[in-house]
Amino acid sequence: MHDTIAGSGAKPVDHPPLRAGRIGVLLVNLGTPDGTTYWPMRRYLKEFLSDRRVIEVPRLLWWPLLNLIILSTRPSKSGAKYASIWNREKDASPLLVITQAQTEKLAARLAARSDRLVVDFAMRYGNPAIAPRIDRLRAAGCDRILIVPLYPQYAAATTATVCDKAFDHLKTLRWQPAVRIAPQWHEDPVYIEAVAASVRRSLAALDFEPEVILASFHGVPKSYLLAGDPYYCFAVKTGRLLRAALGLDEARLRITFQSRFGKEEWLKPYTDETVAGLAKAGTRRLAIVAPGFVADCLETLEELGTENREIFQHHGGEKFAYLPCLNDGEEGMAVLAHVVERELMGWI
């Protein structure tokens, strides 16, 4: 352990205690409510939907809509969806359970590289929050911190808002750590091959062969793209590279976007409409994978795995499979270790 400032001699007897010389790695995912009942859901949704990066509607219009209407009705509806996937044993959302497992496994992998590394995780919305986790790393002697937003494809509403929150806290610190932000890895060959390998293994375990596979990415309003957000381009490139890695054509692997909210036009084609359209057109066997998520969560398990299954079967589809995210499996951990080790170059 390095508990003194590198290069310093003996400290005066009245010097305040200092710990330094260690390197922190902070994984940050989107977030999770603390529970599925009304008030935990309301707190979570209020924080999430109050973020100006997420909702760019003018505040004079958005504030009354959010506080008087959305937060009166949506917590109960969202809570019921979370309850359907909640990890009862650990009393936590799958996203929290998986992110914690990823953190622990990453720490074990990196231990052989350096005894100076400290690995932790945080959530942009909900708990554990970013600020106290940065403080915890600083208390452990980390004067350098690599922040890893867990989004393979950059978007202002995801990666950028993690940076905003982290730097808001850093502005309050007298002694700031040196900070790096891991960039997106949407086209990294290690990531593409990991997703392809995971898809191949999941397909091999099915009792049917899908006629079509959808690569479904979280959507954003189309206006964000027109304002210069690169997310759409990154997602489409990931989809193209995954298609090539799997040896499929555009008809067999299609790129779609899910989770739209409100009446504004979002990135197209929409996943739910594509699922319905395929079933109506005679597709009977369908699989969906979500390459933009590093861990399974509400949007994958409930929205893709349950809602879209019902849509497909309602319109005549027969066989449906949701293919899991990389999570804390071998391929997923290989990607996270690769990204972190790449961004720690020069520090270890």
Is 218 annotated among the ligand-binding residues?
yes
Asked whether residue 342 is domain-assigned, the answer is: no
Per-residue b or e along 270-308, where b marks 16 or more CB atoms closer than 10 Å to that residue's CB = bbbebbbebbeeebbbbbbbbbbbbbbbbbbbbbbbeeb
Asked whether residue 14 is domain-assigned, the answer is: no
Asked whether residue 239 is domain-assigned, the answer is: yes
DSSP category for residue 129: B
Q: Per residue in 157-191, pLDDT tens? A: 999 999 999 999 999 999 999 999 999 999 999 99
Handedness of CA 214, 218, 223, 227 (dihedral sign): negative
pLDDT at 16: 65
- Per-residue pLDDT tens listing for the chain (348 residues): 445 444 455 667 776 666 789 999 999 999 999 999 999 999 999 999 999 999 999 999 999 999 999 999 999 999 999 999 999 999 999 999 999 999 999 999 999 889 999 999 999 999 999 999 999 999 999 999 999 999 999 999 999 999 999 999 999 999 999 999 999 999 999 999 999 999 999 999 999 999 999 999 999 999 999 999 999 999 999 999 999 999 999 999 999 999 999 889 999 999 999 999 999 999 999 999 999 999 999 999 999 999 999 999 999 999 999 999 999 999 999 999 999 999 999 999
Asked whether residue 225 is domain-assigned, the answer is: yes
Write out the DSSP string of 23-75: EEEEEEEEEE-S-SSHHHHHHHHHHHHT-TTT--S-HHHHHHIIIIIIHHHHH
Is 315 annotated among the ligand-binding residues?
no
Domain CATH number, residue 313: 3.40.50.1400
Domain hosting residue 315, numbered range: 189-323
Asked whether residue 293 is domain-assigned, the answer is: yes
Count structural domains, the chain. 2
Asked whether residue 67 is domain-assigned, the answer is: yes
**Beta strands across the sheet bearing 212-218:** 253-258, 212-218, 285-289, 319-323
Q: Report the alpha-carbon distance of residue 38 to residue 76 in Å, rounded.
A: 6
